[in-house]
Amino acid sequence: MQTAFWSTRRIRLAGLFQLLAGCSITALCLGGCAKPEREGPAPSSTTLCFAYQDRVADAASIIAVAKGFFDQEGLAVKPLVFSSGPACSETLLAGSADIGTMGDTTSIIAVSRAPVKIIASHGGGDHRHRIIVAVDSPIRSPSDLVGKRLAVKKGTSTYGGLLAWAESVNLDLSKVKVTDLRPTDMADALLSGAVDAIVASEPTPSVVEERGGRELSTLGGLGNNYPILLVARSEFLRDHPDAVVRFLRALLRAAAFIEHHPDEAVQIVAAKTGLSSTALRRAMSHHYYRVQVDEITRSSLENTARFIADQGIITDVPALSEAIDDTFLQRARQQ
């Protein structure tokens, strides 16, 4: 199914590319947020600026901050909260953050353009992108979308998944009225009848379901686990390795907390995102929360990199064996 995912159809990622290309690599190399570590065992000798998202895919980050896991690891963290991966990437590449969270496409573009490395994935989900229609919609199968208005945010992993899904079910998207729309506007657009279907990542599908939508399909089963990745400045990794290990230990604790205390985790993330507990619980069920660099994630990233290179967004496929550094995660697990 991986061949289906990396369809030769061109995904228009120019906006994302321009966003990342416009960031100053020089600024990235000038330092950023970190303070020099002092000698001795004193905790919190480094302040780590962490750019993450107020979205369900970033639940481990939200939990780690809310439960004080970074503090408990002796690490001072300055949270920088955004609503998208590209915004986190922009902040990281500008040198205003030391570690940021972002999806696979954004991560690959970042490592191909700047001195940054992928140190782990801390979430994702094969079925976290879903197609939703109104509960009383006559659309019951993929072929029913022909001639209908389908909203999606272009230039995202959701859009790539949509193209792959369409090919897998023999749906010609040229016969569908595909509309570029922000996820925050999708619920109102669908329920008002402005569009006939939406496709988005969680929590948007679960929010729409709560308000009167139903699932037509997920974009899963196409050879991509849609990981959310932790990307760090290479300079920070070199100068503050102990801080990075502490950081990952805190996220390991957060992932374990989500597994062992799911109800409390839902309440914490709901309070941060403003979602209802019902919608949040449904949205989280479409994700995994594990801090890892497994073979499935590596394979997904390899496919993503080849795809982006095929589209001319990056000149060459980056050497992911060098762009991924899991040594900090290995140390965090051992300590």
User: Is the predicted pLDDT of residue 215 greater than 70, yes or no?
Assistant: yes
- The pLDDT of 33-46, averaged and rounded, is 50
- The pLDDT of 155-172, averaged and rounded, is 83
List the one residue out of 317, 189, 236 whose CA is nearest residue 47: 236
Q: What is the pLDDT of residue 106?
A: 85
User: Is the predicted pLDDT of residue 258 greater than 60, yes or no?
Assistant: yes
User: Is the predicted pLDDT of residue 246 greater than 50, yes or no?
Assistant: yes
Q: Which domains does the chain have, with CATH numbers?
A: 2-34+45-125+225-334 (3.40.190.10), 129-218 (3.40.190.10)
> Tokens representing 129?
């992108």
- The pLDDT tens digits for 220-242 are 988 788 899 999 999 999 999 99
- Neighbour order of strands in the sheet with 197-201: 177-180, 149-152, 197-201, 129-134, 213-218
Q: What is the mean pLDDT of the chain?
A: 86
> Tokens representing 83?
């609503």
Q: What is the pLDDT of residue 31?
A: 46
Secondary structure element (H or E) that encloses residue 201, with its range: strand 197-201
Q: What is the pLDDT of residue 29?
A: 40
Q: What is the pLDDT of residue 38?
A: 38
Instruction: Grade residue 167 by pLDDT with cuts at 50, 70 and 90.
Output: confident
- The pLDDT tens digits for 79-111 are 999 988 888 999 999 999 999 999 888 898 899
Please count the other Cβ atoms lying within 10 Å of the Cβ belonging to residue 127: 18
Close Cβ partners of 271 (under 8 Å, ≥ 6 residues apart) = none
Alpha-carbon distance 101 to 84, whole Å? 9
Alpha-carbon distance 194 to 81, whole Å? 31
User: Is the predicted pLDDT of residue 45 greater than 80, yes or no?
Assistant: no
Q: What is the pLDDT of residue 193?
A: 97
- The pLDDT tens digits for 127-150 are 999 999 999 999 999 999 999 999
List the one residue out of 95, 119, 82 whose CA is nearest residue 33: 95
Give the residue with greater pLDDT, 164 vs 4: 164
Please tell me the total number of residues recorded for the chain in this structure: 335
Q: What is the pLDDT of residue 222?
A: 82
Q: What is the pLDDT of residue 183?
A: 86
Q: What is the pLDDT of residue 32?
A: 53
User: Is the predicted pLDDT of residue 206 greater than 60, yes or no?
Assistant: yes
User: Is the predicted pLDDT of residue 6 greater than 70, yes or no?
Assistant: no
Residues of the chain with pLDDT > 70: what percent? 85
Phi and psi at residue 231, to the nearest 5°: -115, 130
Q: What is the pLDDT of residue 24?
A: 43
- The pLDDT tens digits for 285-331 are 999 999 999 998 998 888 878 866 776 777 888 888 899 999 999 99
User: Is the predicted pLDDT of residue 261 greater than 50, yes or no?
Assistant: yes
- Amino acid (1-letter code) at residue 287: H
User: Is the predicted pLDDT of residue 21 greater than 80, yes or no?
Assistant: no
- Amino acid (1-letter code) at residue 121: S
